[in-house]
């Protein structure tokens, strides 16, 4: 064979080869016990990585907890059926609902609620749970 009759170009190895090193990869046949074991190991490794992602405190940015509502309860004085009761609540309606506690009354009653010497009068409707209407 003559080198003149060759249809191939000869290029030095250093110019055409990449720097990646090829490695052999062994793949088990699907459905074999080795394949199932490999899937199980991969699943366990993934679960372990997800479970332990927040275990290292050095990598976390710790922030203060937020949420909920601030406790800004107001003291109300309620006069109902010749009795006087003090209740802490967010507003008048919440105080009345706490006071009535889902009771059903057989007659209409007047309820006076005081806050900072300001009086509001409500009518408690008969036959309903927590149903009331402001008069003034």
Q: How far apart are CA 94 and CA 100, in angstroms?
A: 10
Q: How far apart are CA 41 and CA 53, in angstroms?
A: 18
- Tell me if 17 is assigned to some domain: no
Domain count, the chain: 1
pLDDT score at 131: 79
Q: Per-10-residue mean pLDDT for the chain, 136 residues long?
A: 61 61 72 80 87 73 71 88 92 90 87 91 84 80
pLDDT score at 76: 94
CA dihedral 10→15→18→19, nearest 10 degrees, is 130
- Determine the structural domain holding residue 129 and report its residue range: 74-134
- Tell me if 34 is assigned to some domain: no
pLDDT score at 3: 53
- Tell me if 120 is assigned to some domain: yes
- Tell me if 40 is assigned to some domain: no
- Tell me if 102 is assigned to some domain: yes
- Tell me if 38 is assigned to some domain: no
pLDDT score at 105: 85
- Tell me if 86 is assigned to some domain: yes
- Tell me if 20 is assigned to some domain: no
């Amino acid at each position: 064979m003559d080198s003149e009759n060759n249809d191939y170009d000869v290029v030095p190895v250093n110019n055409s080869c990449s720097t990646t090193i090829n490695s052999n990869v062994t793949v088990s046949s699907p459905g074999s016990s080795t394949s199932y074991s490999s899937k199980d190991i991969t699943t366990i490794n993934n679960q372990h990585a997800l479970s332990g992602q927040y275990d290292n405190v050095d990598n976390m940015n710790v922030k203060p907890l937020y949420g909920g509502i601030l406790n800004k309860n107001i003291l109300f004085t309620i006069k109902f059926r010749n009795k006087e009761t003090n209740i802490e609540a967010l507003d008048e309606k919440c105080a009345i609902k706490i006071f009535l506690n889902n009771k059903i009354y057989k007659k209409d009653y007047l309820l006076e609620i005081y806050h900072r010497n300001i009086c509001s009068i409500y009518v408690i409707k008969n036959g309903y749970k927590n149903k009331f209407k402001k008069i003034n």
